């Protein structure tokens, strides 16, 4: 029979100081999931300016991309997406019974790799915005 | 038996579909980001470039599948998060209806946009 670990109520955020690595992974996965689903709806809304006219689409995208704030938000979006992907892979492996013993280490690895990819992406995302 | 920690119903298929779409999205979301930010740059986007990509049947169908799986995975995730917070009864049904309608709207709007780029299904 499966064994369950009594982690207590994770929904009780007041106890955040007692959270283990796996609980933080759960919190971050939920948070990044909310951001990504919110972005999906915004993304389709922006892209659907293509329904008005080709010019409306090109102008909308290029105007947005000329803003420094949008470029910074894109780095944030990449970070959120990369973490959700890496932690999602971690969850898929854990569901298959692989890596359960080192689930805390794979969470830290997801965080470090997300940070490295986000930092490495900054030059690409900011290219041309100051020019 | 110890308490069961899951927002999914026992024997339900939503748990499995959340994993199947996850495995697909891991690859396609990474590809999407890489192609549209690192190979092509977002500030160089034009309608003509998007049109050229969407007129390829392989790319067009991949993007439609991406829209469908991402919407399911995202909305199903939100639904589970709400159930996880203790949503039951009428409020649970209301959440299901609102999320279903929102999914339908975003899928219809996404497909219309894809068709506007491609000028119809690129067969």
Q: State pLDDT tens for residues A52-109.
A: 999 999 999 999 999 999 999 999 999 999 999 999 999 999 988 898 889 999 999 9
B98 inside domain: yes
Residues of B in contact with A4 (CB under 8 A): 2-5
Asked casually if ipTM beats, i.e. exceeds, 0.85, the reply is: yes
Residues of A in contact with B113 (CB under 8 A): 44, 47-48, 50-51
Contact at CB, A88 and B22, closer than 8 angstroms: yes
Q: Going by C-beta distance under 8 Å and a sequence separation of 6 or more, which residues neighbour residue B108?
A: none
B1 inside domain: no
| Domain segments of chain A as ranges | 21-126
Q: Which pTM value belongs to this model?
A: 0.89
- What per-residue confidence (pLDDT) applies to A9? 64
Q: How far is CA B94 from CA B14, B76, B90, B99, B100, in A?
A: 18, 14, 6, 8, 10
Of the partner residues B46, B84, B112, the one whose CB lies closest to the CB of residue A58: B46
CATH number 1.20.1300.10 given to A21-126: yes
Mean pLDDT of A113-129: 93
Contact at CB, B43 and A45, closer than 8 angstroms: no
The CA distance from A64 to the nearest CA of chain B, in Å, is 8
Grade residue B1 by pLDDT with cuts at 50, 70 and 90: very low
Chosen from B7, B26, B76, B113 to mutate, greatest number of chain A CBs within 10 A: B113
Residues of B in contact with A6 (CB under 8 A): 2-3
Find the range with the poorest average confidence among A31-40, A54-63, B39-48, B59-68. B39-48
Q: In this complex, is the C-beta atom of B39 within 8 Å of any C-beta atom belonging to chain A?
A: no
The residue segments making up the domain with residue B18 are: 14-118
- What per-residue confidence (pLDDT) applies to B3? 57
Is residue B75 exposed (0-12), middle (13-18) or buried (19+ Cβ within 10 Å)? buried
- Whether the per-residue pLDDT at A4 is higher than 80: the answer is no
- What per-residue confidence (pLDDT) applies to A85? 97
Q: Which residue has the higher pLDDT, B66 or B45?
A: B66
- What per-residue confidence (pLDDT) applies to B15? 86
Q: Going by C-beta distance under 8 Å and a sequence separation of 6 or more, which residues neighbour residue A88?
A: A29, B22, B25, B26
Mean pLDDT of B9-13: 72
Grade residue A23 by pLDDT with cuts at 50, 70 and 90: confident
Mean pLDDT score of chain A: 90
B28 inside domain: yes
Number of domains forming the structure of chain B: 1
B6 inside domain: no
Q: Which residue has the higher pLDDT, A129 or A25?
A: A25
- Whether the per-residue pLDDT at B26 is higher than 50: the answer is yes
Task: For chain B, give the percent of residues with pLDDT over 70.
Answer: 91
Residues of B in contact with A88 (CB under 8 A): 22, 25-26
B20 inside domain: yes
């Amino acid at each position: 029979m499966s064994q369950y670990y009594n982690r207590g109520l994770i929904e009780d955020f007041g106890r955040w100081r007692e959270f283990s690595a796996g609980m933080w992974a759960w919190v971050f996965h939920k948070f990044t999931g909310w951001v990504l689903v919110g972005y999906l709806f915004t993304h389709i809304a922006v892209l659907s300016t293509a329904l008005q006219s080709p010019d409306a689409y090109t102008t909308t995208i290029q105007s947005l991309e000329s803003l420094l704030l949008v470029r910074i938000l894109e780095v944030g979006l990449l970070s959120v997406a990369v973490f959700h992907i890496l932690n999602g892979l971690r969850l898929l492996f854990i569901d298959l019974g692989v890596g359960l013993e080192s689930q805390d280490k794979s969470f830290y690895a997801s965080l470090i790799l997300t940070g490295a990819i986000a930092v490495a992406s900054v030059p690409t995302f900011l290219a041309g915005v100051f020019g | 038996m110890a308490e069961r920690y899951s927002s999914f119903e026992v024997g339900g298929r939503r748990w499995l579909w959340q994993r199947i779409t996850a495995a697909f999205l891991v690859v396609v979301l990474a590809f999407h980001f890489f192609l549209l930010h690192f190979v092509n740059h977002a500030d160089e986007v034009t309608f003509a470039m998007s049109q050229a990509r969407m007129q390829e049947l392989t790319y067009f169908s991949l993007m439609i599948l991406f829209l469908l799986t991402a919407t399911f995975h995202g909305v199903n995730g939100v639904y589970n998060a709400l159930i996880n917070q203790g949503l039951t009864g009428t409020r649970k049904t209301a959440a299901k209806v609102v999320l279903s309608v929102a999914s339908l709207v975003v899928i219809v709007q996404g497909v219309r946009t894809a068709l506007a780029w491609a000028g119809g299904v690129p067969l």
